[in-house]
């Protein structure tokens, strides 16, 4: 068993709880920092009860408190704490600046002062904006995000690069496609299920339904960021994680209806975007992750169907 702990910021959330599951299975002591603003203790409660993980309920913007926790025996940081839904920031985009750029700077400062030498960061396909080349590889540029969410993620990536060069902090940056699975509390699948609860006869789709993106399971995401991080080799690794295929929003709606056994009308909106800043097509070049030994266990449509089934089961069990 590892003698040093891994600190997971945002570790009580959707992706974070899957990361904690993976670390605990590997016998790694886990320290979680989460302000519980978008989740509860429930997703990691079994690990808290067993003593395999410890939760500190605080905001990562409290640099001194985070540094004190790190000084207690943390060997590396998996930094997942962030705003999770870019639509939330359409009215007040300060949340993305604060929760991505300033929060990452706070975590990096705490690492610098406590001597922790590695950070793994959850970035996003949104940093690419609307790339001219698809499938899009990590070296694509210039990257011109079309949302403050994407701009803030890109800014956080820049800070990690700077702290590597200035202070020797190793970084692994993973740009996620759309992560799906059980425990979700946002995203297109979650939204569709909530809409159909309210009206099982009609399903409203934001945009024309032709938006297509890649989707992969949360446990595959967790496995990727844990198993590939060591390839940073003292520098900064940047890698896409997702699937090589894509699924349209229309197809997702059809899968949700089929799994629920409903025959509802699908009502489409107008325009190619679901909301301002939405990137209609996300298609990844995954050569780097595949060369490093990681592939998703299911392609996009299989992952969508599995996520729908898990969420329905969770709902039926309260």
- The catalytic residue positions are 149
Q: Is 24 in contact with 2 (CB distance < 8 Å)?
A: no
> With 0-12 CB in 10 A as exposed, 13-18 as middle and 19+ as buried, what is 133?
exposed
SS3 at position 8: strand
Burial 284-317 (b: 16+ CB within 10 A, else e): bbbebbeeeebebebbbbbbbbbbbebbeeeeee
DSSP secondary structure, 15-69, as one string = HHHHHHHHHHHTT--EEEE---SS--GGGGHHHHHHTSEEEE-S-TT-HHHHHHH
Residues forming beta bridges with residue 213, ordered by sequence position: 247, 282
Q: Is 220 in contact with 249 (CB distance < 8 Å)?
A: no
- Of 227, 252, 253, give the one whose Cα is nearest residue 303: 252
Beta strands 170-176 and 178-180: pairing type?
Answer: unpaired
Residue 198 tokens, joined: 């309210």
């Amino acid at each position: 068993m590892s003698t040093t702990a891994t600190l997971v910021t945002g570790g009580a959330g959707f992706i974070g709880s899957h990361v904690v599951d993976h670390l605990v299975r590997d016998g790694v002591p886990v320290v979680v920092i989460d302000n519980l603003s978008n989740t509860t203790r429930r997703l990691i409660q079994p690990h808290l009860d067993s003593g395999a993980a410890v939760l500190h309920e605080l905001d990562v913007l409290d640099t001194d408190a985070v540094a004190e926790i790190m000084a207690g025996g943390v060997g590396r940081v998996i930094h997942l704490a962030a705003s999770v839904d870019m639509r939330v920031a359409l009215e007040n985009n300060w949340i993305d600046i604060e929760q991505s750029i300033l929060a990452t700077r706070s975590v990096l400062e705490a690492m610098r002062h406590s001597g922790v030498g590695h950070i793994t960061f959850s970035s996003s396909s949104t940093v690419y904006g609307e790339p001219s080349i698809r499938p899009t590889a990590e070296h694509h540029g210039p990257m011109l995000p079309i949302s403050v969410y994407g701009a803030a993620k890109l800014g956080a990536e820049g800070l990690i690069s700077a702290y590597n060069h200035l202070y020797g902090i190793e970084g692994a940056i993973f740009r996620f496609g759309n992560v799906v699975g059980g425990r979700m509390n946002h995203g297109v699948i979650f939204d569709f299920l909530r809409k159909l609860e309210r009206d099982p006869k009609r399903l409203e789709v934001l945009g024309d339904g032709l938006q297509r993106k890649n989707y992969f399971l949360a446990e595959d995401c967790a496995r990727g960021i844990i198993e590939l991080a060591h390839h940073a080799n003292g520098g900064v690794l940047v890698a896409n994680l997702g699937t090589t295929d894509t699924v349209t929003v229309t197809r997702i709606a059809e899968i949700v209806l089929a799994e629920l056994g409903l025959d509802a009308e699908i009502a489409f909106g107008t325009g190619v975007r679901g909301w301002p800043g939405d990137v209609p097509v996300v298609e990844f070049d995954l050569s780097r992750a595949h060369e490093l030994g990681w592939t998703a266990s299911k392609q996009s449509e299989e992952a969508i169907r599995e996520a729908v089934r898990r969420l329905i089961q969770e709902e039926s069990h309260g």
